[in-house]
Chain A
Amino acid sequence: AQSVTQLDSQVPVFEEAPVELRCNYSSSVSVYLFWYVQYPNQGLQLLLKYLSGSTLVKGINGFEAEFNKSQTSFHLRKPSVHISDTAEYFCAVSDGAGNQFYFGTGTSLTVIP
């Protein structure tokens, strides 16, 4: 089974500051990588995904992530956060068959005015 580690459970950041949310995974095979966002009392929605090709992936709301195979990482970044970015962020990994997804424990991003 694969595992996903999100190193930071809570990240407070001031409005308009940059942010990086870290994600590492353990796998020796090709994987597909995803970041999901969960706003309070809602389900998860896809932020961005990496399947193949360019290692820098751009998503919605100005977020981007970089796939680093040698470091088995898929960190999420945004150059300038807004209050509306306050939410829980989940990193997820899927194997090539797509049968199962493995989620990290989540990072709670709080944007401070």
Chain B
Amino acid sequence: NAGVTQTPKFRVLKTGQSMTLLCAQDMNHEYMYWYRQDPGMGLRLIHYSVGEGTTAKGEVPDGYNVSRLKKQNFLLGLESAAPSQTSVYFCASSYRINPYRTTNTGELFFGEGSRLTVL
């Protein structure tokens, strides 16, 4: 029962470097999300995907790109890292909400987080 798995869990970058965070889910969920968590600001949505091959911008998309080539994977890329991108990143997945089906109630399932530091 892996659920949602994020790699890597920790990474230190220098300003201007690039990297990719990988999120994998084994629950056959349609929706996947990338959030960042910063002290006092809660979780803010970066990008999300409602299905394979589709992505959309969230609240704070600038400086990030995403891809969903396979249903189970959602990649978050930083092309040129900046210190403002120092944060904890969470991936989440969900079914589409359907309150009449107990298995499809739309709640998010989260990974354990990836802590990124940009120097």
Contact = CB atoms under 8 A, between A and B. Distances in A.
Given A99-B50, A103-B43, A105-B42, A43 B105 contact: no
Nearest to B33: A101
Interface string A26-42: 00000010101000011
A72 interface: no
Interface in B63-109: 90, 92, 94, 96-97, 99, 105-108
Contacts of B111: 43
B31 to A, nearest CB: 7
Contacts of B108: 34, 36, 44, 46, 92, 101
Contacts of A51: 97, 99, 105-106
Contacts of B113: 41-43
Interface residues of A, number: 28
Nearest to B50: A99
A96 B96 CA distance: 10
B99 A52 contact: yes
Given A43-B90, A44-B108, A49-B107, A103 B99 contact: no
Nearest to B59: A1
A103 B40 CA distance: 12
A100 B90 contact: no
Contacts of A90: 42-43
Contact of A100 (B45, B96, B110): B45
B61 interface: no
A36 B92 CA distance: 13
Contact of B110 (A1, A45, A99, A104): A45
A88 to B, nearest CB: 9
A42 B97 CA distance: 25
Interface of B: 4, 31, 33, 35, 40-45, 48, 50, 56, 58-59, 90, 92, 94, 96-97, 99, 105-108, 110-113
Given A34-B107, A44-B110, 17 more contacts: A1-B59, A32-B106, A34-B108, A42-B112, A42-B113, A43-B90, A44-B90, A51-B105, A51-B106, A52-B99, A92-B108, A100-B45, A100-B48, A101-B45, A103-B35, A103-B44, A105-B42
